């Protein structure tokens, strides 16, 4: 079987959903299970409604919810002709938005939006889009069955960033889909959302529907995990930044992980984790151009491969440099620092250490003042703001002779503040001024990817519009 995941732009309106139906139909012989995101922007609207309610702006919250409801109803009226099927869906929409209005009321009384409550808002986006897609398949005479993730996607209780408990997921999901596949029925379910063992809805982090698809694929030993999105695949750089990026045909799991972790938006980084474990290939396809070959993420077989594949970046980070006040043993000092980061629930994007110095790179939006406050008890902390990370990704880069020279030669006039090269075999990352990030990305891209020779790996994009 295969898993087919469709993102928000692939379900944004009736025409997009009709296209999804067409794509699923063309792959019925591969026995698909369909995973869908909320329709475009729905998750943002739900989040906004929750926040507005907590700020005592219930009217605005109800207003944007009404618009979201109208959008769903519009899609249904546009594409579901069978009146009984349509009535059922409209009824579900009505019930769901009544529940959302109750949530708004509750939150505005409490003036507090906890992660748990936010998840109660979020879940409606995927619950509704998946209902509509399941019904749209039926309209096209494809037998489909809507499955609520409540029945199988068991997660821990870390609301808004829950992790699935694969062993439970596997048993439950297998039991649910077995009779469906035996009868050639296409299961349709939600990305992004899960449920605790006590039955509370959870979500697994923004943009995590890709991850859901991978968890489903892993649980069912899929032959392929297909991520259907709105771009041609993974590119050699952000197409809004560089002129003429190339499409990458083939990436290893590690390369895809590093790229998505360092800012490429095509895939959620966690997507690779279950797939690596079971060695299931991931394809990224453009749902607007379903005949294109997309990008394949798979196990790296050719270990000699040292081709740089892509340059990614992350903006708005800062460096915390910590010097211990007392000369603790090195390990104790490191442990102190990491305990503070763990307490604040932040992860360092890059770390550099020397005997009695410890530097970590954090997002500027992390709770920096509280972190610095806690670190002050053990060390003297300096905060170096306004930085960005640039990261070149490619398997075995570490073994590539002359690589560092080639990278830094092209940015000789740019101040580089911190480098990590080594911990991951497939990336080199360094820190520059945030204002220089885009320029550095362009220069590195020009240096490494303006001419690409390897047709097995890269493909020239058609109709790319060069940025200004
Ligand atoms: N709908 C969710 C979000 O917008 C999950 C996803 O699209 O992957 O974050
Ligand atoms: Mg996405």
pLDDT tens digits for range 60-82: 999 999 999 999 999 999 999 99
The helix (H) or strand (E) run that includes residue 2 is strand 2-6
Q: How far apart are CA 18 and CA 58, in angstroms?
A: 35
Q: Which ligand is nearest to the CA of 36?
A: 1
State yes or no: pLDDT of 328 exceeds 80.
Answer: no
Distance of CA 261 to the CA centre of its chain: 9
How far away, in angstroms, is 210 Cα from ligand 2 center?
Answer: 7
What is the overall mean pLDDT for the chain?
A: 93
Percent of the chain residues topping a pLDDT of 70: 98
Q: Per-residue confidence at 303, pLDDT binned at 50, 70, 90?
A: low
Cβ count near 354 (within 10 Å): 8
Sign of CA dihedral 142, 148, 151, 154: positive
Torsion angle of C-alpha atoms 10, 12, 15, 20, degrees rounded to 10: 30
Whether residues 339 and 427 fall in one domain: yes
Check pLDDT > 70 for residue 205. yes
Q: What is the average pLDDT across 78-90? A: 96
Pick the range with the lowest mean pLDDT from 22-36, 95-109, 313-327: 313-327
Question: What pLDDT, on a 0 to 100 scale, did the predictor assign at position 467?
Answer: 52
Task: State whether 315 and 214 are in the same domain.
Answer: no
Tell whether the model's pLDDT for residue 48 goes beyond 80.
yes
- Whether the pLDDT of residue 46 is over 90: the answer is yes
Categorize the per-residue pLDDT at 468 as very low, low, confident or very high, splitting at 50, 70 and 90.
Answer: very low
User: Which residue range is the domain that position 432 belongs to?
Assistant: 308-451
Q: In 308-372, which ranges are E strands?
A: 310-324, 351-354, 357-363
C-alpha 347/C-alpha 273 separation (Å) is 18
Say if residue 465's pLDDT is above 60: no
Identify the residue whose C-alpha is closest to ligand 1 atom 2: 207
| Test site for ligand 1: of 208, 212, 284, most ligand atoms within 8 A of the Cβ | 208
* Whether pLDDT at 466 is above 90: no
> Is 291 inside a domain boundary?
no
- Please give the C-alpha separations between residue 461 and each of 191, 243, 300, 439, in angstroms, as whole numbers: 29, 11, 24, 22
What mean pLDDT is predicted for residues 447-464?
Answer: 81
- Measured CA to CA, the distance from residue 110 to residue 114 in angstroms comes to 10
Atom from ligand 1 closest to the CA of residue 192: 5
Domain-terminating residue out of 195, 230, 265: 230
246 in a domain, yes or no?
A: no
Compute the Cα dihedral for 456, 457, 462, 468 and give only its sign: negative
Residue 305 CB coordination number (10 Å): 16
Pairing of strands 458-460, 246-248: antiparallel
Closest ligand by atom to 192 CA? 1
d(CA 403, CA 143): 54
Contact 67, 36 (CB under 8 A): no
CA distance 387 to 373: 21
**Final residue in a domain of this structure, among 170, 197, 230:** 230
E-assigned strand segments in 14-160? 32-36, 144-146
Higher pLDDT, 106 or 402: 106
User: Which one of 39, 191, 266 would you pick to mutate in the ligand 1 pocket, going by the greatest count of ligand atoms within 8 A of its CB?
Assistant: 191
The closest of 212, 45, 37, 203 to 133, measured between CA atoms, is 37
Q: What is the pTM of this model?
A: 0.92
- pLDDT tens for 181-193 read 999 999 999 999 9
Domain count, the chain: 2
Q: What CATH number should be reported for the domain holding residue 218?
A: 3.40.1160.10
> Do you know the residue count of the chain?
468
Evaluate if residue 227 carries a pLDDT over 60.
yes
394-441 per-position pLDDT tens digit: 988 877 788 889 999 989 999 999 998 877 778 899 999 999 999 999
What's the average model confidence in pLDDT over 191-201? 98
324 is a domain residue: yes
Q: Which residues line ligand 1 (CB under 6 A)?
A: 7-8, 37-38, 43, 125, 191-192, 206-209
Average of per-residue pLDDT across 119-130: 98
Whether residue 123 is found in the same domain as residue 10: yes
Backbone angles phi, psi at 429, to 5 degrees: -125, 145
**What tokens appear for 454 in the block?**
């390897």
Write the CATH number for 432: 3.30.2130.10
316, part of any domain: yes
Q: Who contacts 146 (Cβ-Cβ below 8 Å, separation ≥6)?
A: 130, 131, 134, 188, 189
Nearest CA to ligand 1 atom 5: 207
Q: Which ligand neighbours the alpha carbon of 265 most closely?
A: 2
For residue 39, report the distance from its CA to the centre of ligand 1, in Å. 9
Residue 241 resides in a domain: no
Query: Residues 313, 205: one domain?
Result: no
**340 inside domain:** yes
Give CA–CA dist 118/287, Å, rounded.
30
Q: Which atom of ligand 1 is nearest to the CA of 7?
A: 7
Q: Is the pLDDT of residue 295 over 60?
A: yes
Q: Give residue 378 CA to ligand 2 midpoint distance, Å.
A: 40
Domain end (from 178, 199, 230): 230
Name the closest-CA residue to atom 6, ligand 1.
207
| pLDDT tens-place string over residues 335-347 | 999 999 999 989 8
Q: What is the pLDDT of residue 463?
A: 61
What is the CA(111)–ligand 1 centre distance, in A?
25
**61, 93, 60, 88: which is closest to 74 by C-alpha?**
93
Residue 185 and residue 37 share a domain: yes
Residue 37 alpha carbon to ligand 1 centre in Å: 6
Structure confidence by residue, pLDDT tens digits, 246-279: 999 999 999 999 999 887 888 999 999 999 999 9
């Amino acid at each position: 079987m295969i898993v087919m995941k469709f993102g928000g732009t692939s379900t944004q309106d009736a025409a997009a959903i009709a296209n999804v139906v067409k794509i699923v139909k063309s792959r019925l012989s591969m026995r698909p299970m369909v995973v869908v995101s909320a329709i475009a922007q729905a998750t943002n609207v739900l989040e906004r409604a929750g926040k507005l309610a907590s700020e005592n702006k219930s009217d605005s919250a109800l207003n944007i919810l009404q618009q979201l409801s109208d959008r769903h109803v519009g899609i249904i009226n546009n594409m579901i002709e069978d009146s009984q099927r349509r009535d059922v869906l409209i009824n579900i929409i009505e019930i769901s938005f009544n529940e959302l209005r109750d949530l708004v009321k509750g939150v505005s009384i409490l003036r507090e939006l906890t992660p748990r409550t936010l998840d109660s808002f979020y879940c409606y986006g995927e619950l509704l889009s998946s209902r509509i897609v399941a019904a749209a398949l039926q309209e096209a005479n494809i037998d489909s069955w809507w499955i609520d993730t409540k029945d199988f996607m068991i997660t821990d209780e870390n609301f808004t960033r829950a992790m699935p408990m694969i062993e439970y997921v596997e048993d439950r999901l297998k039991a649910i889909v077995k009779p469906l596949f035996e009868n050639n029925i296409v299961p349709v379910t939600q990305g992004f959302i899960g449920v605790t063992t006590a039955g509370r809805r959870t979500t697994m982090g923004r943009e995590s529907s890709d991850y859901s698809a991978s968890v489903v694929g892993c649980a069912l030993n899929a032959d392929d995990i297909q991520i259907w999105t709105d771009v041609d695949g993974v590119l050699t750089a952000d197409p809004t930044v560089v002129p003429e990026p190339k499409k990458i045909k083939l990436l290893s799991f590690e390369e895809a992980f590093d790229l998505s972790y360092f800012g490429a938006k095509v895939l959620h980084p966690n997507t690779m984790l279950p797939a690596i474990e079971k060695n299931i290939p991931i394809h990224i396809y453009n749902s607007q151009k379903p005949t294109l070959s997309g990008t394949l993420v798979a196990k790296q077989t050719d270990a000699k491969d040292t081709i740089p594949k892509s340059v990614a970046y992350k903006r708005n980070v800062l460096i915390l440099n910590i010097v211990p006040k007392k000369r603790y043993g090195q390990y104790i000092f490191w442990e102190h620092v990491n305990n503070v980061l763990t307490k604040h629930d932040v992860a360092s994007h890059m770390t550099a250490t020397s005997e009695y110095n410890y530097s970590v790179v954090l997002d500027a939006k992390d709770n920096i003042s509280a972190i610095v406050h806690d670190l002050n008890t053990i060390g003297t902390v300096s905060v170096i703001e306004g930085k960005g990370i640039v990261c070149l990704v490619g398997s075995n880069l570490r073994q590539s002779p002359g690589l560092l020279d080639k990278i830094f030669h092209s940015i000789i006039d740019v101040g580089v503040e911190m480098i990590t090269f080594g911990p991951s075999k497939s990336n080199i990352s360094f820190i520059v001024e945030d204002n220089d990030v885009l320029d550095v990305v362009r220069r590195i891209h020009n240096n490494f990817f303006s001419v690409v020779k390897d047709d097995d790996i890269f493909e020239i994009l058609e109709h790319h519009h060069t940025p200004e």
